[in-house]
Structures are given as structure tokens and as C-alpha cells.
Amino acid sequence: DTVEVGLNGISATIILTDSIQCNGDSATIDVITSGYFGWYSYSLNYQDSLGNLYTLSQQTTYDTATFTMLPANTYQVLVSDTSMLCNIQTSIIITQPNSLSLIMSSDTIICNGGTPSSLSANSGVSGSYIWNPSTYLINANVQNPSFSSGLTSSETYIVTFTDANGCNATDSVIIWVNP
């Protein structure tokens, strides 16, 4: 994503150089400035839920400022020449995907030696599933693995789901064996 503005002889372009791939991650922006010979002062401000702006970071550089570790939010960048005679303001909205969640089968109680129903996990998006431990599972790398035999002890089965962006969600199902 790129946002570009020009005013008072100064031009500023915000480039989202590293976007947020997973919920809760952070982004990086570059602010590239031209139109004035010399150094620029950059003030990065963020907007709270009430619309108030707060200064997050300030830099002075020759033509490009890089701001890292930015969570999803609305950011405003104020760029000034070092004499403070010319300035320009621009903004960018950094978004993030929804958090991943899993809908799981319920914890189950079975009799000693009984074979439980298949385990079940659903994320609502495409991706891969890995169940651990894989003991007694016919295929531990599917969404709904079946058991190959009965169980004689209780076990917690943990599933890790990974989506196309490499984002993960983890949950578990307990199979209780009643002696």
C-alpha cells in the first residue's frame, strides 16, 4: 500500500513495506520525503479508539524514515523541514486479519478399551491440521482424524492449525478413559 501527498514544496509517500499477516503481528512503514534540500523531522502519531492522536515516535533523517513494530491502527505522519517552515501531514490505516479460532469436538468419556469417535476441529478457513500425540490416530494430519484402536488411558489431543499466511491456532480435546 502507498499513500502520497505533496504540499508547500514537500512531498511525502508512505509505503507499507511489511504488512500484518497474522492477527496481533506488527507492520513496518517507510516515509519517503522529497522537495526540500536537507534533513526532515518526522513525527509518527497513532489514533486511539476515541480519535485522539498521540505521538508514538520521532525521527530526523535525510529523506526516508522507517517505523517498525506498528500494530493495526490509524497512523498520522507529520513531516517538517528542520527549519519548521514547511510541513506536510499524511496518514495510513494498517489493518490485520481476524484472529484464527477453532471449533472443536467435545471432551469425551469412554470405557476402558473403547474406541472414541473421530476427533474434530474446524477453523472455517483453508489450511493444515496436525494432531498430537499421533498415537492411536489413523492419520494425525487431517481435520477429523479417526482412531485406529481403543484406548486404555486418558489422553489430551492437541491440534495445531496453520493457515495460508502461516498463522496458527491451537486447541485440545480430552478423551477420558473410565476404568
Contact 95, 20 (CB under 8 A): yes
Contact 1, 16 (CB under 8 A): yes
Strands, E assignment, 20-138: 27-34, 40-47, 53-61, 64-70, 73-81, 87-94, 103-104, 108-111, 121-122, 127-132
If pLDDT is split at 50, 70 and 90, which confidence band does 20 have? very high
Residue 6 has pLDDT above 60, yes or no: no
Contact 161, 151 (CB under 8 A): no
CA angle 27, 33, 34 (to 5 degrees): 160
Average pLDDT for 3-10: 60
